[in-house]
């Protein structure tokens, strides 16, 4: 083999058939070649798949929860269109009583989320013991009303039926049906002259197997609640007499101990 053949053999991978010799790329001496990165497409696919499963699980659970009418009504009342409205009054004047006290004016229908909204608002305005909850409501959810009354009693707040003008002077209003249970929660229950308290028989609105037994159960629960709040059992008798609203006279409300501190002559 000639020298030319030998060189030709050594350079057969470095010589271009149509051009000059091309040397293969070489890294620095002693340096390892860069590692080969595995494809990331598979890892990305599983991340997306897990995320979709998690979101789907949350959506399915939320759908199941909100598919119940009670849950939907509660969600709507709390987040979409609350049935109660609240206004803080810095200084309330109840015909010379409770001057300088703060008051939270609560008006509207007592909806499925009323107790939660009420508690959150009380936490926000930070009423002190002896401050007043002013009520003006046609009633609503019985269970929510009892919870609201329990909250009022736990915080040693007073109650009154009425609205208030810009100066803080209380004007007459009415409180009927379940609203009376909220009013009964007051440690002191002011009787505003001209305001009205209305009661009636409580009945369930959902289908039940024995309506009579269910009505008796509700009456027993109302009696237990009113007795706990210091109201005479005669109020339950007044409730049971009619399904229509019965407006109590100031003397009747005072005799039942529903009103504990009348303002003006009953």
- pLDDT attached to residue 24: 55
- pLDDT attached to residue 9: 47
pTM for this one?
0.72
- pLDDT attached to residue 194: 94
Cα separation, 101 vs 133, whole angstroms: 11
- pLDDT attached to residue 62: 47
Query: 250 is written with which tokens?
Result: 């100031």
Instruction: Tell me which fold the domain 75-200+245-263 belongs to.
Output: 2-enoyl-CoA Hydratase; Chain A, domain 1 (3.90.226)
Cα separation, 141 vs 126, whole angstroms: 25
Mean pLDDT by 10 residues, the chain (266 residues): 48 49 56 58 68 63 51 66 91 76 95 95 95 96 96 97 87 96 97 95 71 80 96 93 92 97 77
Buried residues in 145-163 as b, exposed as e (16+ CB within 10 A):
bbbbbbbbbebebbbbbbb
- pLDDT attached to residue 31: 58
Cα separation, 54 vs 76, whole angstroms: 25
- pLDDT attached to residue 214: 76
In this structure, the number of other CB atoms found within 10 A of the CB of residue 77 comes to: 23
Strand partners, 198: 176, 247
CA 199 to chain centre: 27
Query: 213 is written with which tokens?
Result: 């037994």
Residue 85: φ, ψ to 5°: -120, 150
What residue segments make up the domains of the chain, in order of their start? 75-200+245-263
- pLDDT attached to residue 186: 97
Q: Is 217 helix (H, G, I), strand (E, B) or coil?
A: helix
């Amino acid at each position: 083999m000639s020298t030319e053949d030998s060189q030709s053999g050594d350079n057969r991978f470095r010589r271009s058939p149509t051009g000059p010799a091309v040397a293969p790329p070489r890294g620095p001496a002693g340096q390892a070649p860069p590692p080969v990165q595995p494809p990331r497409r598979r890892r990305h696919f599983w991340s997306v798949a897990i995320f979709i499963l998690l979101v789907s699980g949350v959506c399915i659970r939320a759908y199941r929860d909100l598919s119940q009418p009670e849950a939907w009504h509660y969600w709507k009342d709390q987040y979409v269109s609350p049935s109660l409205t609240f206004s803080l009054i810095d200084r309330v004047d109840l015909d010379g009583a409770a001057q300088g006290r703060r008051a939270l004016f609560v008006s509207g229908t007592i909806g499925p989320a009323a107790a939660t909204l009420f508690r959150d608002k009380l936490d926000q305005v930070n009423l002190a013991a002896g401050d007043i909850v002013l009520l003006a409501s046609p009633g609503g959810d019985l269970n929510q009303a009892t919870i609201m009354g329990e909250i009022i009693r736990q915080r040693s707040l007073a109650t009154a039926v009425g609205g208030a003008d810009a100066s803080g002077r209380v004007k007459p209003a009415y409180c009927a049906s379940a609203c009376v249970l909220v009013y009964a929660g007051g440690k002191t229950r002011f009787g505003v002259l001209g305001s009205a308290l209305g009661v009636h028989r409580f009945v369930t609105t959902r289908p039940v197997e024995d309506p009579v037994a269910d009505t008796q159960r509700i009456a027993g629960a109302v009696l237990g609640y009113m007795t706990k709040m210091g109201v005479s059992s005669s109020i339950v008798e007044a409730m049971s007499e009619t399904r229509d609203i019965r407006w109590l006279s100031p003397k009747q409300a005072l005799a039942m101990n529903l009103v504990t501190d009348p303002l003006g002559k009953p």
